[in-house]
Every structure is written in structure tokens, then in C-alpha cells.
Amino acid sequence: MTPAERNKSSSNSAPKGDPTVAVLLTWILPGAGHLYLGRTVVGLLAFAVLNGMYWLGLKLSAGMTFEWLDPELRSTFAVALSPEAGNLGGLVYQMKTYAFGLGYPRPFPELVRVGSALCAVSGMLNFALMTHAHRVSRVGSRTPAWPAARAVLLTSIVPGLGHFVQGRRARGLCIAFLLLGFFALGTVLADFSNLSRERHFYYWSGQALLGIAPLISEGIWGAKAVTGHLPYVEAGLGFGCVAGLLNILAMIDAYAFEADGQDAQPARHSGASSAGPWGAKDEKSSSGAPTAQGAASEPGAAATRSTAP
């Protein structure tokens, strides 16, 4: 390979773009960050899937998700704590088009829970897409960016799953046991009322960060009627919400483990390439004179020193 070809290959694999800009663009509009980084196929695919999911959710729910909020909680930034905030463009469109209702009562659609969940999942999946854009902007194409994004995605689906796939099985099982155990305990204490977004909008938003477990549970028990006083409902809501928030830390840990491991590889390889068979450099000094170790290894060096006056 000629020097020109090597320079061209190096420039193509070098990082492109600013990581912060890539993440912000992805947050505002899924896929925009990848288009900014030159990843056209990934960007267009992400745009179609995540925004299509949000659009379908709006159609199924008739945009009525935020009408579950009590009137005293409705404000400009009231929806900032919802999972939909992960897809900022979709959230802004929803607020501009539907906001907190049309000003008069209307029945909720039959599939309002499904539609609401789709919009929330679109926002949560965009977090994994943001991590991918961040890694691409940092490492370019010389290092695969998908392992770190995969770790975040798997952890967001099932707590500890990303760690398990990374080979940290004990940690992954511990995270899964603790966080899903917290959620199960909270569900029992709240008598399944924590599974209803209509009843507990913000607590639901917190526990939704646990991924698939609360979504499946809501599909099965979310419409369970409350028939009496629930003495431990506040504790149950707290356990479920805290479990979801703790999963954010698990996602960060999974991402950092993957990213730090990749970032350390070039340094290790660089050190190995410049070291001799015993781990030390067998090179001449910058002045052209052999080093002490190199001089000792040259033929006749010992004999020359022994006969010198």
C-alpha cells in the first residue's frame, strides 16, 4: 500500500464530527446524528423505525396519553419526565398537535395503553441510538461502535442482560435479581396499581426504565380494579420507580465497561508493537547511538568494552 493509500484509509476510518453534537441531533430527531456523521443507511433506518413507532403510538392512542395527567400537573414542562422525552422531536410534535386534550371530554380509544407504550418505547430506544452515535463520533470506523450501544440496549430491555452478554455474569444476575425483585415487591405492595399509567403517571414513567418487565406486567394486570384501601401503595410505588431509575446506572456501567475496554486496546497494541521480546524497546536512541540494552546485544560489544583502555 502506497503512502497516499494509507493516508486515505486512515482519513476514512478516523472519527468524524463532535460527539456532543451527534448526541443532541439524535435526541432531537432519531437518525439525524448518524446522518451528520455520514452513516446514511443507519440514520434513515433509525428515523423510519423510531419515528414510525411514535407515529403509530399516537394514532392508536389518539394522542391522549398526557390527558391522564391531573389538571394541576399540566404545564409546559410537565411531560419532560416521561419516557417520550427520549424522542424530543416526537414529543414536541405530540404537544403541538394534541397537548393535554382538545378542551372537551372524549372517550379513550380501546388501544390507548398500547399506543402510549409505543411512544414511550420509541423514546427509550433512542437512548441506545444516542450511545451508538456517541461511539461512532469518537472511534470512527476503525473500531466497531455497536458493542457499547448493544450493551445499553440489552440492559434497557432486561436489567443485567447487557452485563451478562459482556461476560460479567455474576454482576448481571445480581443486577437483574435486585432490580426486578424491587419491581416485583413494589407491585405486590401497590396491589398492581403501579402498573397503571393512568393512575400513577410519573411513577409509571420511572419504572418503565426497567424495560420489558413492566410493559408485559401492565398488559396482564394494568387494568386491575382497585377495590379497597391500599395501606402500602406509596412504598410500592417508590420501590418500582427507584428500580427503574437504578437501571440507568446499570446502563451507564455497561456502556463504560465496553467503551473503556475498546479505548484501552490501541494503547496496549501500541505498547506491544514497540516492545522487544522481554517487554523493553530494542531501538536506538534519537541521536542514532545504541541504547545500553541494544549495545549489549550487538555482536562483539562485550569484547570491545573488555579491550578498551
Closest CA to 204 of 189, 220, 186: 186
Closest CA to 205 of 14, 300, 302, 73: 73
Q: How far apart are CA 275 and CA 300, in angstroms?
A: 23
Q: What is the pLDDT tens value at each position of the chain, 309 positions in all?
A: 554 444 444 444 556 789 999 999 999 999 999 999 999 999 999 999 999 999 999 999 999 999 999 888 888 888 999 999 999 999 999 999 999 987 778 899 999 999 999 999 999 999 999 999 999 998 876 678 889 999 999 999 999 999 999 999 999 999 999 999 999 999 999 999 999 999 999 999 999 999 999 999 999 998 888 888 999 999 999 999 999 999 999 999 999 999 888 777 654 444 444 444 333 344 444 444 454 444 444 444 444 444 444
Q: What is the pLDDT of residue 37?
A: 95
Q: 206: buried, middle or exposed (CB in 10 Å: 19+, 13-18, 0-12)?
A: buried
Question: Are the C-beta atoms of residues 171 and 193 closer than 8 Å to each other?
Answer: no
Q: How far apart are CA 268 and CA 2, in angstroms?
A: 26
Q: What is the pLDDT of residue 296?
A: 44
Name the residue ranges covered by the structural domains of the chain. Answer: 16-142, 148-264
Closest CA to 183 of 206, 207, 201: 207
Positions of E strands within 111-157: none
Q: How far apart are CA 206 and CA 233, in angstroms?
A: 16
Closest CA to 67 of 9, 2, 116, 128: 116
Q: How far apart are CA 29 and CA 54, in angstroms?
A: 12
Q: What is the pLDDT of residue 292?
A: 45
Give, in degrees to the nearest 5, the angle at Cα 253 between 249 and 258.
150
Q: What is the pLDDT of residue 225?
A: 87
| Encoded amino acid at 207, one letter | Q
Which grid coordinates are listed for 42? Answer: 443507519
Q: Count the residues in the chain.
A: 309
Q: How far apart are CA 74 and CA 63, in angstroms?
A: 15
Q: What is the pLDDT of residue 299?
A: 47
Q: What is the pLDDT of residue 96?
A: 93
| Encoded amino acid at 258, one letter | E
| Encoded amino acid at 281, one letter | K
